[in-house]
Amino acid sequence: MPKRLLLVPLVLSLAACGGGSGSTSRAPNQVVVALRNPPTHLDPRIGTDQSSARAFDLMLNGLVTKAPNGDLVPDLATSWEVLDNGLRYRFHLRPGVRFHDGRELTAEDVVWTFGSIVDGTVVSPKSGAFSHVEAVEAADRLSVDFVLRRPFGAMLADLTSFVGIVPAGTGPDEFERAPIGSGPFRLVERSPDSLQFAAWDGYWEGRPQLDRVVLRAVPDATVRALELQKGSVHLVISDLAPDVVERFRADERFRVQADPGSVYTYLGFNMEDRTVGDVRVRRALALTLDRQKLADSLWRGLALVTETALPPGHWARNDDLEIVPHDPAAARRLLDEAGYPDPDGDGPRPRFTISYKTSTDEVFRLQAQAIQAMAAEAGIGIEIRSYEFATFYADIKAGNFQMFSLNWTGVVDPNIYKLILHSGSIPPDGANRGRYRNPEFDRLVDLGARFLEPAKRRPHYLEAQQILARELPYISLFNRLNYAVLPRALEGYRNHTSGELYSLKRARWASGG
């Protein structure tokens, strides 16, 4: 008989820890942010993981930045204009901005940062996002031109601190050893599991009110919660077990801030694999998943079932995609058709077994176990392989997987499809790690990026999402709410759609907190 799914909630007795809101163990005027994993790279041309992005938030500036609602607004660039019928973007830089070593940031640094990606001086996994750029040139000391091969409407989305500006001439190895940015905090100390940042006195918006921010890797979700409770950690963003979030919500010493986010959770596949490369197998697996049960039981309402990467309300989201139902019987019929009959008539032996890679994070391991039990109802065997994040992520980037689960964060522009699923973005030129190839999908994504007006771009992305819904190179799971848990005494923090730490430059501890 098929296995019955039992979702067991995480249990954590926070009260057993004692302690208050953290004031007794908190270093004066310091905030410690707990991350699942340490950053993999400090150079913004190389790092693609979420923890690296959090370091970029603190120590770097982009030409533009994100407002809390996800809108793109000026940062190093005070303004920009589109010239030559869309073939040239000119950015006017803010005068007087200085790097942490005191040197002024000019057009030369912007040209070097992006030019080194475009011309291949730095082998960057982000190069696919700039395939439309022919050259980056200094128009004058404080103006930079991006010369394009064709008009490109998604230009601004790739110019945040995720590709922050580094000093001219700096290579990745040098930057990893001694990163120098222009952001509100400068790196002053590092260890294998933590980065310590000090307030930058010369920051162009004024010195932050916090003296220090520490990014500390705490891989275990239970330990993150315990350390938040006792005050050795002060901020956790979307990285606690959902049932534990409810416990903090009921504790008057803490604040839980939950807002619509731009985090997309999915299952990815190696499209060159004989088994999961068959769309009928992927469709059958999708039919076994009761995603609403996962959202309600495991994610406790902090996740919304989705058929697409784009968040609800996004101008390019296709809300007319057919919802994949939970239908194990249909999955069994599809597997029969695909040539994978039940070997012993609804017996214990699976039709085949898929290797499912995930991290050691407790919630994602529970999610993997739930998916394993659901898939068994159709005779699909799943072997879960969980690894410490650095090992897991290295395997995913290398294409060493059959199936995996990850998040994409910062889904702002539909041109993300260029980076993650376009055939021109197969590593090392991008993040199409499953090596999905579809010429029509590529054509639509390329067309959608050529227009400046969303109304002209939208039809192409709607059709591209229909292709993905049919072929399922990803099985969409959830659009996640973005939530932060912090002591009430920490004031001035505001959520950003992908968990960015930009607001820490204005955060402060309340007097007596």
Alpha helices in 202-278 (DSSP H): 221-230, 242-249
DSSP 466-501: HHHHHH-SEEEEEEEEEEEEEETTEES----TT---
Q: Which of 175, 204, 228 is the last residue of a domain?
A: 175
| pLDDT of amino acid 71 | 86
Does some domain include residue 9?
no
Q: Are residue 283 and residue 429 in the same domain, yes or no?
A: yes
Whether the CA torsion 217, 221, 226, 229 is positive or negative: it is: positive
Does some domain include residue 454?
yes
Does some domain include residue 394?
yes
The domain spanning residue 57 has which CATH number?
3.90.76.10
Q: Which residue would you say has higher pLDDT here, 345 or 505? A: 505
* Band of residue 248 on the pLDDT scale cut at 50, 70, 90: very high
Q: Which tokens in the block code for residue 478?
A: 């959830």
What pLDDT, in 10s, does the model give residues 62-77? 999 999 888 899 999 9
* Band of residue 19 on the pLDDT scale cut at 50, 70, 90: very low
Q: Are residue 316 and residue 380 in the same domain, yes or no?
A: yes
Distances (CA, A) of 62 to 93, 174, 183: 11, 20, 9
Q: Are residue 199 and residue 336 in the same domain, yes or no?
A: no
| pLDDT of amino acid 26 | 57
Helix (DSSP H) and strand (DSSP E) numbers for the chain: 13, 19
Q: Are residue 370 and residue 267 in the same domain, yes or no?
A: yes
Write b or e for each residue in 426-435: b if 16 or more Cβ atoms lie within 10 A of its Cβ, otherwise e. beebbbbbbb
Percent of the chain, pLDDT > 70? 94
Write the CB contacts of 250 (distance below 8 Å, at least 6 apart in sequence): none
- pLDDT of 497 over the 90 cut: no
Percent of the chain, pLDDT > 90? 77
| Stated pTM of the model | 0.76
Does some domain include residue 45?
no
Write the CB contacts of 407 (distance below 8 Å, at least 6 apart in sequence): 50, 263, 264, 265, 266, 480
Q: Which residues pair with 137 in a beta bridge?
A: 145
Q: Are residue 436 and residue 501 in the same domain, yes or no?
A: no
User: Domain span at residue 490?
Assistant: 28-39+179-260+483-509
Does some domain include residue 196?
yes
- pLDDT of 230 over the 90 cut: yes
The domain spanning residue 449 has which CATH number?
3.10.105.10
Q: Which of 175, 207, 241 is the last residue of a domain?
A: 175
SS3 455: helix
Q: Are residue 443 and residue 299 in the same domain, yes or no?
A: yes
Q: Are residue 267 and residue 159 in the same domain, yes or no?
A: no
| pLDDT of amino acid 12 | 43
17 close to 33: Cβ distance less than 8 angstroms: no
| pLDDT of amino acid 20 | 42
What domain count does the chain have?
Answer: 3
What pLDDT, in 10s, does the model give residues 330-386? 999 999 999 999 987 766 789 999 999 999 988 899 999 999 999 999 999 999 999
Q: Are residue 126 and residue 216 in the same domain, yes or no?
A: no
- pLDDT of 512 over the 90 cut: no
Q: Nearest-CA neighbor of 36 among 503, 506, 499?
A: 499
What pLDDT, in 10s, does the model give residues 165-206? 999 999 999 999 999 999 999 999 999 999 999 999 999 999
Q: Which of 152, 175, 198 is the last residue of a domain?
A: 175
| pLDDT of amino acid 346 | 66
The domain spanning residue 212 has which CATH number?
3.40.190.10
Does some domain include residue 21?
no
What pLDDT, in 10s, does the model give residues 310-335? 999 899 999 999 999 999 999 999 99
